[in-house]
Amino acid sequence: MADFKLRRSLLYVPGNMPSMLQNIPIFNCDSVIIDLEDAVPLAEKDAARHLVKRFLLNYTDRNKELLVRINPLDSKWGYEDLKVVLPAMPDGIRLPKADTPEIVERLDTLLTEFEEELEVEIGRFGILPSLESALGVINAVGIANSSERIFALAFGAEDYTASMEIERSRGGEELFNARTRVLWAAKAKGIQAVDTIFADVSDMEGLRAETELAKRLGYTGKCLVNPRQIEVVHDVFAPKEHEVEYALQVIEAIKRARQLGTGVIALGGKMVDAPVVKRAARVLRTAYAHGMVDTLIDEEEIHGAQ
Amino acid sequence: MALNSLGREIPDSYAGKRLVPYGDAWSLRPEGTVAARPVKRVNPGQGKRLSSLREAIEASGLADGMTIATHHSLRNGDFLLNRIVAEIAAMGLKGIWIASSSVHPVHAEIIPHIKSGVIAGFQCGVNGLIGELASRGELSCPIVVRTHGGRARSIIEGSVKIDVAFIAAPCCDEYGNMNGYYGPSACGSLGYAQIDAGYASCVVAVTDNLVPFPAVPVGIPQTLVDYVVAVDRLGDPAKIVSTTTRVTTDPVGLQIASYASQVIEASGLLKDGFSFQTGSGGISLAVAEKVRNAMRKGSIKGSFGCGGITGYFVEMLEEGLFSALMDVQCFDQEAVRSIGVNRAHQEISADMYANPFNAGSVVNRLDCVILGATEVDTAFNVNVNTESNGYLLHNTGGHSDTAAGAKLSIIVAPSIRGRLPIVRDRVTTITTPGDTIGVVVTERGIAVNDRHAELKEELIRRKLPVKDIADLQREICRVTGTPRPLEFEDEVVAAIEYRDGSIIDVVRRVKE
């Protein structure tokens, strides 16, 4: 919980477009995923990774998490992507087609080698695996446990529906099982779960509905294809005011409880115990990121002094 | 030559008049009484109809060296100014001054008549080619750029005397009553022409829609109008109120709009009684949309929307978010429709809108205005007249008026245009003084003028990207590099008059 990092919005930016890379600092998404994979035509693979490297080296006042989606490790570009981009210090790698734990383990090993070579802390580069096939979804639990670098699991519906030989619908009923399985794996491991992109940039209602569904299920973030989608996604993930108010009451209540030497107390006729406090703490951290409360809550207040 | 308070070199005189260097936005006070014009008498049975523009020009007594005016409510669709100047040229008149409310790119047609001496100069700002050619030394005619409020002031106080006003009247009767609401050239408000009608020595109504007496509602009354001329067309309806009023979809523009609307929310002004002005550009409209949503969400009942009115503001009026619109000019067809049917959509004159020298103009009652800029400098001075190439390309409009009047003036602009940074050490031309600018919003950050210290604190509290304007400039220049300064000749091609009549800057010929 101490390394709580808000990842509501992960914006894809094509790695071969200087005009779009240049604007990365200005958008208020939580993370950016610079894409070297699907967005980049074959003829530009080489140019793009060097462009991305230059951009990252010049982006010194970093104000958001920077991930790079490399090409699959079994393609002829994947390794070269890492080699060129990692010295420019992205925060992590989005690994496409992470179908098995072994693929992620391979990336983990490579990252360790690069970290040694670059003389940076082992574990500096995170991994965000994309579960985007039937196989990946089935292996979700194994993948979640395959590397300590993994901070979240990402579900990729476009490739997933292709692998299932089905169409993706606006309601998303066909994704329900896969979404849930990815979530279980993430929550069991105690990491975040990031929902798939919503491709229709002009359909803000559809985006809102899908994000609300993802949030209800337990996802904490969503991948985006256009900066215009950030506002809706943040709006959905923002705690409602009554939730913040209740969370503040919960924290007050549990502080009183600790003074009384207990870990359980009643608030408005309902029992407040550890899971309730945990949920309240999460609401307040998110509220802080949204500027809804002024101070971050103290870990000690939540868990009590050791 | 003297330096004004903003450090700009101002010549002692220009276009035959002594210049007063700008001091500050508030202190200069008017003297004397308002301008007079001949008293008239029209007896029963006496008509006003004339059969052609030529006849009207002759009847008006227009002579060499006199001043004419038209209004720019037909915008880039206006035919009238070109036709009048062509007629004046055909009559052999010389040295005529133009004191229209604005001149648009469509009026480039008069350039040959400037070169031939028919037109001597402009007592108004110009948009487009005329200013560009003047900046390059290819046209020799003085240009005095004025704000909307400043133009009204100059006419009412008599420093600009209009000898003959030709008023394009989209709906007019034979006795001179007119409005802009109906007809093939409907343009809505005639707010600028109201000043000309009230103060010109002779007033000629020109219409392509002669209706039976009386033309109601009466925008400009028969008592002010000397002659009425019917023509086939006043303008091209497709270009009259052609502004594309659409919210931008550009993510950078939307980011700017989002910050601007958050600044408004943080300002504490967005509450019952809120009054607001914004332009018709894509970013301005995006701000308007966000403000509208915030007003809906907070059940806020605003007071009035002001300025050039768009369909957006009409929707807000009809939805009950504003109780009135104060309309000096309609920007689109929806606004034209509304002013003809909504009682709370009030036509106002440029005097009432923005003149600093009257008993109080509408801009004084504005809470918040959203404005654009071609450049901003680290002292918050704003340029809207010239572009980075140094050419005079844009008129001021109500920029300086609303900035001075509103409690909070917000400049919205992308941090980079083309390859150029918009925040500069020194703007090429000062249109609006930094003392009257509250906040500069770019996609890379928000710079707050020190006179809004509380707002600045609140924005920081809300975790908005508040930056010192010099830091913002450095950040932008890290991306763009620092442009080489432009070089100018000594020759002055235009004077930029502040709304009170003092000279805030001059535009000089660009060294090519």
Write the pLDDT tens digit of every residue in A154-195. 999 999 999 999 999 888 899 999 999 999 999 999 999 999
C-beta atoms surrounding A160 within 10 Å:
24
Right CATH for B251-488 from 3.40.1390.10, 1.20.120.1780, 3.30.70.20, 3.40.1080.10: 3.40.1080.10
From the centroid of its chain, how far is CA B444?
A: 28
Q: What does the mean pLDDT of chain B come to?
A: 95
Q: Is the pLDDT of residue A2 over 50?
A: no
Q: Is the pLDDT of residue A109 over 90?
A: yes
Chain A residue with CA closest to B479: the answer is: A22
Collect all residues of chain A within an 8 Å Cβ-Cβ radius of residue B249: 228
Residues B231 and B383: beta-carbon distance below 8 Å: no
- Rounded CA-CA distance A107/A243 in Å is 40
Q: Is the pLDDT of residue B218 over 70?
A: yes
- Rounded CA-CA distance B28/B160 in Å is 18
First to last CA, chain B: 24
Residue B245, classed as helix, strand or coil, is coil
Q: Is B15 exposed, middle or buried (0-12, 13-18, 19+ CB in 10 A)?
A: middle
Q: Please compute the mean of the pLDDT values over residues B268-280 and round it to a whole number.
A: 95
Asked if A291 and B462 come within 8 Å (Cβ–Cβ), the reply is: yes
Task: Identify the DSSP state of B176.
Answer: S
pLDDT of residue B245: 62
Residue B110, classed as helix, strand or coil, is helix
Q: Please compute the mean of the pLDDT values over residues B452-466 and round it to a whole number.
A: 95
Question: Of all residues in chain A, what percent carry a pLDDT higher than 70?
Answer: 96
Class of domain B48-123+160-240: alpha beta
Chain A residue with CA closest to B418: the answer is: A19
Contact B255/A at CB under 8 A: yes
- Rounded CA-CA distance B470/B424 in Å is 9
Q: Is B1 exposed, middle or buried (0-12, 13-18, 19+ CB in 10 A)?
A: exposed
Collect all residues of chain A within an 8 Å Cβ-Cβ radius of residue B443: 23, 26
pLDDT of residue A1: 37
Collect all residues of chain B within an 8 Å Cβ-Cβ radius of residue A23: 251-252, 443
Nearest CA distance, B247 vs chain A (angstrom): 13
Residue A153, classed as helix, strand or coil, is strand
Chain A residue with CA closest to B290: the answer is: A231
Residue B232, classed as helix, strand or coil, is coil
Q: Please compute the mean of the pLDDT values over residues A278-290 and round it to a whole number.
A: 85
For residue A51, what are the β-bridge partners? none
Split at pLDDT 50, 70, 90, the class of B244 is: low
pLDDT of residue A260: 83
Nearest CA distance, B418 vs chain A (angstrom): 11
Lowest mean pLDDT among A248-257, B74-83, B321-330, B386-395: A248-257
Distances (CA, A) of B136 to B130, B131, B132: 10, 9, 6
Across the interface, of B249, B444, B462, the residue whose CB is closest to A26 is B444
Collect all residues of chain B within an 8 Å Cβ-Cβ radius of residue A288: none
For residue B98, what are the β-bridge partners? B68, B122
pLDDT of residue A171: 85
Across the interface, of B251, B461, B475, the residue whose CB is closest to A227 is B251
- Report DSSP letters for A14-39, one per residue: ETT-HHHHTTGGG---SEEEEESSTT
What length is written for chain B? 512
Class of domain A9-237: alpha beta
Between B448 and A60, the more confident residue is B448
Tell me the HSE value of B424 on the side-chain side, using a 13 A CA sphere: 21
Question: Of all residues in chain B, what percent carry a pLDDT higher than 70?
Answer: 99
- Rounded CA-CA distance B279/B371 in Å is 7
Q: Where in chain B is the domain with CATH 3.40.1080.10?
A: 48-123+160-240, 251-488
The residue behind tokens 């500096």 is: A124
CB pairs under 8 A between A and B: 25
Domain ranges of chain A: 9-237, 241-303
- Rounded CA-CA distance B64/B62 in Å is 7
Between A301 and B88, the more confident residue is B88
- Rounded CA-CA distance B322/B305 in Å is 7
Interface test with A, best of B443, B461, B467, B472 (most A CBs within 10 A): B443
Collect all residues of chain A within an 8 Å Cβ-Cβ radius of residue B475: 61
Split at pLDDT 50, 70, 90, the class of B433 is: very high
Q: Is the pLDDT of residue B185 over 90?
A: yes
Between B45 and A254, the more confident residue is B45
Split at pLDDT 50, 70, 90, the class of B163 is: very high
Chain A residue with CA closest to B464: the answer is: A291
pLDDT of residue A306: 54
Q: Is the pLDDT of residue B243 over 90?
A: no
The residue behind tokens 């408005």 is: A268
